[in-house]
Amino acid sequence: MKTRTVLITGGAGFIGSHVATELLKAGYHVRVLDNLVTQVHGDNPDRPDYLNKNVEFILGDVRNPEIVDEVLKGVDAVYHFVALVGVGQSMYQIAEYTSVNNLGTAVLLERLVKSSVRKLIVASSMSIYGEGLYVTPEGDPYPFASRTAAQLKAHEWEMATPDGRPLRPVATPETKQPSLASIYALSKYDQEQMCLVVGRAYGIPTVALRFFNAYGPFQSLSNPYTGVLAIFASRLLNRKRPMIFEDGEQLRDFVSVYDVAQACRLALEVDAAHDMVFNVGSGQTISVSNVARKLARVLGTNIEPEITGKYRVGDIRHCFPDISRAREVLGFRPKISLEQGIRDLAGWLEQQTAHDRFNEMREELTSRGLVV
C-alpha cells in the first residue's frame, strides 16, 4: 500500500517547506511539526506564509514526547529535518545544539518505534565529511587531508602531504570516512546513525540524505548561520560587500532546493534505497568567490566580495559530492542549473527585506577565538 500521510519535523524551515510542496504535488497528505525557532523565524513567529496552505501545521518541540505521540498518529512515513544548523555557533552553544539535534532525535525515535511508521528519512549534512576527498599527484586516494594551525596562520590554504606534495580535491563519495570538525557535524552524524541503527533494529526502512549547499527561495536572510548564498544575498541587498574567509577559492557544490526536494521524494518512493546513505548535490563545482560574483551580477550590482584572509576554526578547504549513487539507486537527476537557480532566487529576493547580521556573527566567533 502506498504511503499517504507524511510527517516532516522541522517542516516549516527552508528545505522542509519545499519538500512539503513536492509531496503535496505527488498526492501525499503532509503534516508538519515545527517550533518556529526565533533565529530563523523572527521574534514573533507565526506559521510562515510560504508554507503551503494545504499542509497540516502543528506548533511544537520534537523534544516533547507527548507532542511527538500526537503528531505521529496515522503517519506512514517521517522526514526528520529538525536541527540547529550553525557550524560556528555550535562551538559555543554546545548544550543547545546537543539538546535539539541529539536529544530531539532520541525522543522522536523512542516514540516512532511504537507507532505505525513504515519509512524514515533523515536529513544529514556534508559537514560530517570534514574535508572532502583528495588524491596525491600519482592519483592515489588521500582521505585524511588536514591543515595545521600553523599552516592556516601562514595562509597556506591548500592541502598537501606531510612532505609537501600538493593534493588535488576530487568528488567525495559516501564511503569516505567522516571527519567531525564541529559540534554541529558531530550532532548531524549522530542523527544520521541513530536513525539508521534504530531503523535496522525495528525493521523500519530508513534513508539518510547528506545535503550539500542547498539554496533557493524561503531561506532565512536574517540568520547569519544559514547557507552561504543567503548570507551573501543579505550583504548585497544591504549594499555591503560579501565577506569571504581564506582566499575565496574554496570549492563547493550549490544545489537548488527544488532538486533537494526531488531527492527527498525519491528517497520515500524508491524501495531499493532502504538502509542507505546518499549525497545530494548538483554535481557541479564552483569557488565561493565566483558564486558571490555570480550572485552580485544577477542582483544587478557590481559589488565585489571582500577576501578577508582570515579563517574560522573548523572550516574546510574543499568539499563537493560524488552523486553517482543517488543517480543510480534513486534515479536522481538535478534539473536546475546554478544560473537558473540564482535567477529564481533573485526574483524572490526582490520581495524580501534582509537584516544583515554577518558582523554580529563574526564578532561573536572572534571573541571566542574561533576566527583568526
pLDDT on residue 368: 55
pTM of structure: 0.92
**Is there a domain that residue 134 lies in?**
yes
Q: Spell out where the chain has E strands.
A: 5-9, 29-34, 56-59, 77-80, 119-125, 133-135, 141-142, 168-170, 206-211, 213-215, 243-244, 251-252, 254-256, 276-280, 286-287, 306-307
Render pLDDT for 103-124 as a digit per residue (tens, 0 to 9). 999 999 999 999 999 999 999 9
Q: Dihedral through CA 56, CA 62, CA 67, CA 71, nearest 10?
A: 40
The verdict on whether 189 is a catalytic residue reads no
Query: Does 209 reside within a domain?
Result: yes
Q: What is the CATH number of the domain that holds 61?
A: 3.40.50.720
pLDDT in tens, 232-268: 887 888 888 999 999 999 999 999 999 999 999 999 9
102 belongs to a structural domain: yes
Q: Which domain holds residue 231?
A: 5-367
Number of domains in the chain: 1
328 in a domain, yes or no?
A: yes
Supply the pLDDT for residue 258.
Answer: 98
Residue 372 lies in a domain: no
Alpha-carbon gap, residue 282 to 212, rounded angstroms: 9
Instruction: Give the 3-state secondary structure of residue 74.
Output: coil
Average pLDDT, the chain: 91
The residue from 129, 142, 184, 311 that is catalytic is 184
